[in-house]
Structure 1
């Protein structure tokens, strides 16, 4: 089978691999689609994702496909089932797992990060992280359940009320998803701030969000204004902007993944005076079912956000930064015919 392998830092290579053999508790998935995200860019550049990726490794932690084989101990899946896989595999034994915070697991294993993932024609995953896809959800849409689940976990950390106004800073794929989920959860008004006129117009057209071009008109984001501010960029300037934009009693969610060495300045008096809650968020503990339900109901629709469909040969164009203007890129492995 064909596999796209990270063989070294900043080097991807298409290789012929043997089809993996399932262990008793595993499912073999014939990959249909595999999403590419900022984490893959980081791993390609030698930076950590949810964990460190050690070459040679097959990336691809966002994926969908069809069950091709099941291990002897698998009970809930059969050959031919349409599935998506939560990449994060928890140890269930460490302090954080035993205190209901598995996302902080000290021994986190992850499909497409620490073990081979969806950038190959077939991959394996433990049954516990495999999920059935409803009939009305395409394999293409199901390939991005993982980023939806990360956005859903982030929103779960907020205290939401219908009267609230929300600002999402960052028009990347996750920022756009978070805006949709905030709307689905009943927030009165959602504003999306970004740097791409095309993305902002697309979101205004499909989802009715207010939009601000944060590159051209940053002063349009007024200080002390929003009940909820989600920073989905990961840069010091937008992190500082998020704290400024929050109203009294506001909540600031730091979603964007910054450089490990980056810091930002915060006016501690304003945090005190405005009684702000500043919250971090990490991966997606047990939010796959909610994310599948959001897709099934139509409350979240990722398809208008997918801008680029790639093959293995062009993935490096994206993760190296050569491919510009991307809203969301996914890799067609077998497609809907998997």
Structure 2
């Protein structure tokens, strides 16, 4: 079968590989769409994602498709079902799994990271991470369930209230998702900060953002109960803390480089009684993400800027394709 294989650091090849065999508890999925995200760019560059990707490996952890075959023990899906797949597979036996923190699993494996993923005609996954999707959810939108689920998990770690005023920093795909999610969760006001004026205006007009700030030139007031940092750069992480009022919560969602640090006024953390929260992957958030998408509370297709082929993926990852907000790969029919 046709697959795009990561063969080394910043090296990918279209190859003909064997269709994977299906174990009794597994599902074979014919890929429809696979999303490309910052994790894929990191893995392509030889950096870790949720785990290390060891070449040769087929990337693609944001997937939708059609069930082509099921193992003898599988009961939750059938051949022909339209599905999306949670890439993260927990061991269920380590300290973190046994204390209800599976996202921190010591033995985490992941479709498209440690095992072959959706940048191929077909891939396998345990049935426990395969989710049928409703008829009103397109396969293109369903490829975004995984990033939506990561944002859902991040917000689940905060104490959200209707009276709060929120700021999202970062006008990429994830930042724009957080704008819609915070609105759907009912906080009274959502403001938006980024570097591309067109995106800021788009979110103001389409999704009802109240105030926008260009982080290159505007001063953000220290007036927010909730701040979501969705960039992962030291300067925006510092801006996130500085934008808080007393009693605020900061979600550090953006992924920095492994050796990256940022400066923080520790007295301000004390005096404001700040909560600074990290968020890693998406434990058991797929059902919520599917529900949000199928209900129409989230619009992801308007945020997809590029639909590409397998042959074009490397150009997206290495930056040859410009102005990418979100790219999805159309793998199958």
TM-score relative to the length of structure 2:
0.98
Secondary structure at the residue paired with 1:199?
helix
User: Could you tell which deviates more after superposition, 320-329 or 144-153?
Assistant: 320-329
Alpha-carbon distance in 1 for matches of 2:96, 2:283: 12
2:136 corresponds in structure 1 to: 136
Deviation for aligned residue 1:46: 0.3
Residues 25-174 of structure 1: pairs in structure 2 closer than 5 A: 25-174=25-174
1:301 shift after superposition: 1.2
Deviations along 1:153-189, one digit per CA (max 9) or x if unpaired, are 0011110111110000001111111111111000111
Q: Which residue of 1 aligns with 2:302?
A: 304
Q: 2:283 aligns with which of 282, 285, 291?
A: 285
* 2:320 alignment partner in structure 1: 322
Q: 1:224-243 residue pairs with structure 2 within 5 A?
A: 224-243=222-241
Output one character per residue of 1:4-52: Cα deviation in whole Å (capped at 9) or x when no partner.
Answer: 0000000011101121111110000010000000000000000000000
Check 1:205–1:314 CA distance in 2 against 1; reply closer, same or farther (3 A cut): same
Residue in 1 aligned with 2:330? Answer: 332
| Residues in 2 aligned to 1:13 and 1:45: alpha-carbon distance in whole angstroms | 15
SS state of the match for residue 73, structure 2? coil
Q: Residue 199 of structure 1 contacts residue 327 of structure 1 at CA under 8 Å; is this kept in 2? A: no
- Could you list the structure 1 runs, at least 4 aligned residues long, displaced by more than 4 angstroms after superposition: none
Structure 1: how far apart are the matches of 2:37 and 2:272?
34
RMSD: 0.9
Alignment-derived partner of residue 294 in structure 1: 292
CA distance in 2, matches of 1:192, 1:303: 20
Residue 196 of structure 1 contacts residue 213 of structure 1 at CA under 8 Å; is this kept in 2?
Answer: no
Give, in whole Å, the separation in 1 of the partners of 2:322 and 2:244: 31
Aligned length in residues? 333
C-alpha spacing 1:4/1:211, structure 2 compared with 1 (3 Å): farther
Match 2:266 to one of 262, 268, 283: 268
Which stretch shifts more, 193-202 or 54-63?
193-202
Could you list the per-position Cα deviations for residues 65-108 of structure 1 after superposition, in whole angstroms to 9, with x for gaps in the alignment? 00000011111111100000000000000000000000000000
- TM-score, length basis structure 1: 0.97
Contact 2:146 2:286 in 1 (8 A): yes
Q: Deviation of residue 325 (structure 1)? A: 1.2
Contact 1:88 1:129 in 2 (8 A): yes
- How many angstroms does 1:215 deviate by? 4.0
The residue aligned with 1:6 is: 6
Task: Determine the structure 2 residue equivalent to 1:191.
Answer: 191
Q: CA deviation at 1:216?
A: 4.1
Contact 1:200 / 1:211 at 8 angstroms: preserved in 2?
no
Give the secondary-structure state (helix, strand or coil) at the position aligned to 2:134.
coil
Q: 1:210: Cα distance to partner?
A: 3.0
SS at match of 1:259: coil
